[in-house]
Amino acid sequence: METPNNSLGRRDFFKGAGIGAAGLALSPMVAEASPLTEKEKLARIASNSWPIRYIFKSRTGFGRNPKNEAAKEKYGEITMLDFPQFTKDTFPGVTHMDIFSGLFGDVTDDSMYVGVPVSVGAATRVTQEFDPSSASGKRWLEKLANKMATTGTHCQHISNNAPRDLCDLDAEKRKAGIAVAKKWLDGAKMLGTKSMRVNSGGPRIAPVAVATADYPKADDLAKYLATCIESFKEMADYGGKVGVKVTLENHWGLTANPMNIRIIVDEVKNPFCEASPDFCNWEHEYLMYNGLKALAPYAHTNVHAKYWSRWKDNDVRRSVKIMNDGGFKGTFALEYEEGPWDGIEGSKYLYKEVLAAL
C-alpha cells in the first residue's frame, strides 16, 4: 500500500502515466468507485474492548463503583476470552476486533503478570500488567487465538499502554520500553494482529517553544522527537520481522499534535510504522477535523471511530468521510468514550453511524 513517504507527486504521476493536459481535457469524468456492499462495509468495522472495559474481569477494576456493578448486572461479566463471541453477538456481521492491553490475561493467575511501577504526579504505585513473554501468558494467548478461530473473528489492532518511556531522554528507560514493546509484538503475532498502538511516552504535555533573542525555538521538543524517532525505528524494524505494524495515536504528549505524528512516521521511513488516528483525542476543537485530515494519508490499518461529549461538534459520519477521502482502507474501531449512553449502547450507536457513512 502506498505511503506518504513513497507516493508520487501529481506531476510525476501524470508524466509517468503518459497523461498530458490534452488527455485530461478529453476525459473530464473520473469513474467513481462502486458503493460498498453490506458485507464490505462490515469488514471495515472493528469492535473495541475499551468502551466496555467496565464489565471485564480485570486487575485494575477501572474504578469499582455502583455504576460499573450495575453494568455488569445488566450485561454480565466477561473476560477477553469471551470478547470474540461478544463481538459477534453485539455487532452483527463484525469480525474484526481492537483489543486493549489492560484486559489481557487470566486475572486469577499471578504467573502471567508482572509488577510495573507507574508514576502518577509525585506518587509512584505498582500496577500489575500482562506479560506476553511468560509461559502462562503464551498459553493464554493460544487460548485467545483458538477462540478467534472458532468464532471466525480476527484481532485487527491492539491498543497498548504497556510499553512506556519511548521518547524518554534516559536511554535505559527507553531501552526497557522497547523491550516491552517487542514482547508484545511477539504476542501480537500469535494472534495474527495487523497493528499495535504504542504510546510515545515522555511528558504528558509536550514541551513548547521558548523566547530567544530572535525567533522562538522548541529545542526541548526536538530532543524528545529525536529519541521517539529512534525508538520507533527499532520497533518498526522488529514489527516488520513479525508482521505487525506499530502505530502512533493522537493520545497525549508528543502525539497530541498531529504534525509530530507525521514527523515521526516520515523520519522512521518504514511501512511498519504508521498513524492510527482517534476521532476525538484532541486538545482543542479546531483539531477535530483538521487534525484528522492531516493524519488520514498516514493511516492504513485501524482508526478509533469515537464519540465523546467533550466536544459539541462530534460528527462521526463527517470523520469517516475525511478518512475515506484521505485514502484510508482499514477498519473503524468503535471506541465510545463518554456521553448520553453506557459503553455498550454508545458502541452500538457508533456501529450504526459508521455503517451509514461507509
pLDDT-derived band at 110, boundaries 50, 70, 90: very high
Tens digits of per-residue pLDDT, 37-57?
Answer: 999 999 999 999 999 999 999
Q: Which of 158, 166, 164, 233 is nearest to 188 (CA)?
A: 158
Q: Could you write out the three-class secondary structure of 50-70?
A: HHHHHHECCCCCCCCCHHHHH
Tell me which amino acid residue 323 is.
M
Domain boundaries, given as residue ranges, for the chain? 36-357
DSSP helix/strand/coil, 292: helix
User: What are the two backbone dihedrals, phi and then psi, of residue 331, each rounded to the nearest 5 degrees?
Assistant: -100, 150
Task: Identify the burial level of 104 via C-beta atoms within 10 angstroms of its C-beta, where 0-12 means exposed, 13-18 middle and 19 or more buried.
Answer: buried
Span 36-357: which CATH code? 3.20.20.150
Bridge partners, residue 227, by sequence:
none
For the whole model, what pTM was predicted? 0.89
pLDDT cut 70: percent of the chain above it: 90
Does the pLDDT value for residue 87 go beyond 50?
yes
Q: What is the pLDDT of residues 301-336, one digit of tens each?
A: 999 999 999 999 999 999 999 999 999 999 999 999
Query: Per-residue b/e over 314-343, b at no fewer than 16 CB within 10 Å?
Result: bbbeebbebbbebebebbbbbbbbeeebbb
**CB atoms < 10 A from the CB of 112, how many?**
24
Give the separation between CA 308 and CA 297, rounded to whole angstroms.
Answer: 23
pLDDT tens per residue across span 275-303: 999 999 999 999 999 999 999 999 999 99
pLDDT tens per residue, range 226-277: 999 999 999 999 999 999 999 999 999 999 999 999 999 999 999 999 999 9
Tens of pLDDT along 168-220? Answer: 999 999 999 999 999 999 999 999 999 999 999 999 999 999 999 999 999 99
pLDDT over 80 at 20, yes or no: no
The closest alpha carbon to 197, from 27, 333, 30, belongs to 333
State residue 3's pLDDT score: 46
106, 113, 164 from 182: Cα distances, Å = 21, 16, 12
